[in-house]
Amino acid sequence: MAYIVYKRKKTRTIPLGDGWWGVGEKTLSEDQKIYPFQVETSDKEIEDLYERIDRTRYADPLEDGKFHYGFNSTYLKKVVSYWRHEFDWKKQVAVLNKYPHFKTKIEGLDVHFIHVRPPHRENQKVLPIMIVHGWPGSFYEFYKILPLLTQSRDGVVFEVICPSIPGYGFSEASHKQGFNSLAAARIFLKLMERLGFSQFYLQGGDWGSLITTNMAQMKPQCVNGLHLNMCMSNSGFKVLLSLLIGPYLPFLVGLSREDVRRLFPFFEKNVFEMLRESGYFHIQATKPDTAGCGVNDSPVGLAAWILEKFSSWADMKNRDLEDGGLERKFSLDDLLTNVMIYWTTGSITSSMRFYKENLGSNLNNRVDFKTEIFVPTGFAAFPNELMYCPKSWAQIRYRNLQSYTFMPRGGHFAAFEEPQLLADDLFNFVKKVEKS
């Protein structure tokens, strides 16, 4: 999920507003209690999965097609064989439950989140932080970074709240049209308030970067800092000028040598490459329910739809490999656990609708794209991210950019691929903010 928006007249904050996404009319009162939740499974659920897998009809791949036509069916059979005969869903459910899960009702929806507190130690500063996933990920993306964030560094440690976006995984999907990132941001702000946090940090990538940015725009007084690993930049005269002059005289337009290396040739790296990778984007932003019918009914279809993204979005060069390079950065257990979160909750279609709700109208008319961000912001620029955003571009929208790091490796799924690198950059950013 990546795009560039056009520069518009800016405002400073977004009104919080209110909403109702539950069934029928809004109720007069809402249960504000927080309830413990556990991920569960059953033999019946697993047997149904196996029966569907066993009935799969595969398409023959093209000779030497690799991953250029999507998920190669020869390798897909190997993944599915592992899923059917070796993957232990009950064991993975126990892994999911190692952190405390909760649900609470907000704006008519059951919102799922995990809440991880650090071990108690004397003389440490505990900072609350919400981290938000994107598509086709889930809260499980953060399971490798959670131990790093909840371990004290130089007296600083995080208390982590990690929600599922409504319509993803264990968070209830909206029953009404129009549930976009602004609605998700408002719900997550209400969640933090319900948990008793008046000051906190935010971190996000993919949709999570937009949702956390919206949170910072709605309640900047509550957000101590915003850390992103994906940046949605504005275009306009400054960007256009840097594209024209940047390859030849980068210093005149605020570009570094590393910017030039990552950004140019611009059309090949940022236009043609995105056209090759954005077919899913147009489908989900226009007719998500049509595609959803197929992938919600077929576990193998779902796995192919989701896992292809973990291949190419980790590194576009993976398309040149017979196995898509999937197991270079991820284990099949981790990848299939993420797929199973979508499968067992039947949430793939509602997750895809999030594209249509956010992109179904002109982005330039949305209030958040007219609103600059003034909270302290840090950006971790991973080299294999889908679209590259130079520091000078990020500063157009994020007016208080306190850190910008060229990450040495990694792609779109930063916390899943490179948890140590992301944790290091997040701690460095927060320590800088805390000292200022």
Is the bond leading into 136 cis (omega within 30 degrees of zero)? Answer: yes
According to DSSP, the residues that pair with 158 across neighbouring strands are 127
Q: Which of 206, 259, 315, 334 is catalytic?
A: 206
Q: Examine the residue annotation and report whether 68 is marked as an active-site residue of this protein.
A: no
Q: Which of 355, 388, 398, 404 is catalytic?
A: 355
Q: Examine the residue annotation and report whether 206 is marked as an active-site residue of this protein.
A: yes
> What is the rounded CA–CA span in Å between residue 269 and residue 240?
16
Q: Which of 101, 112, 227, 412 is catalytic?
A: 412
Listed in sequence order, the DSSP H helices in 278-401 are: 279-284, 288-297, 299-312, 326-329, 332-345, 348-359, 391-397
- Rounded to a whole number, what is the largest CA-CA distance in the chain? 64
Q: Examine the residue annotation and report whether 143 is marked as an active-site residue of this protein.
A: no
Strands of 200-204's sheet in order across: 34-37, 101-106, 109-116, 156-163, 125-132, 200-204, 223-228, 377-381, 401-406
DSSP code, position 6: E
Which of 343, 325, 417 is CA-nearest to residue 380?
Answer: 417
Residue 424 host element (H or E): helix 419-435
Give a three-class secondary structure readout of 13-42: CCCCCCCCCCCCCCCCCCCCCEEEECCCCC
Q: Which residues contact 87 (CB under 8 A, 6 or more apart)?
A: 332, 333, 336
> What is the rounded CA–CA span in Å between residue 311 and residue 382?
16
> What is the rounded CA–CA span in Å between residue 325 and residue 311?
6
According to DSSP, the residues that pair with 398 across neighbouring strands are 373
Please answer whether residues 153 and 372 qualify as being in contact, where contact means their C-beta atoms are separated by less than 8 angstroms: no
Which of 383, 436, 374, 379 is CA-nearest to residue 412?
Answer: 383
> What is the rounded CA–CA span in Å between residue 6 and residue 366?
11
Residue type at 348 in one-letter notation: I
Please answer whether residues 422 and 131 qualify as being in contact, where contact means their C-beta atoms are separated by less than 8 angstroms: no
Kindly list the catalytic residues. 206, 355, 412
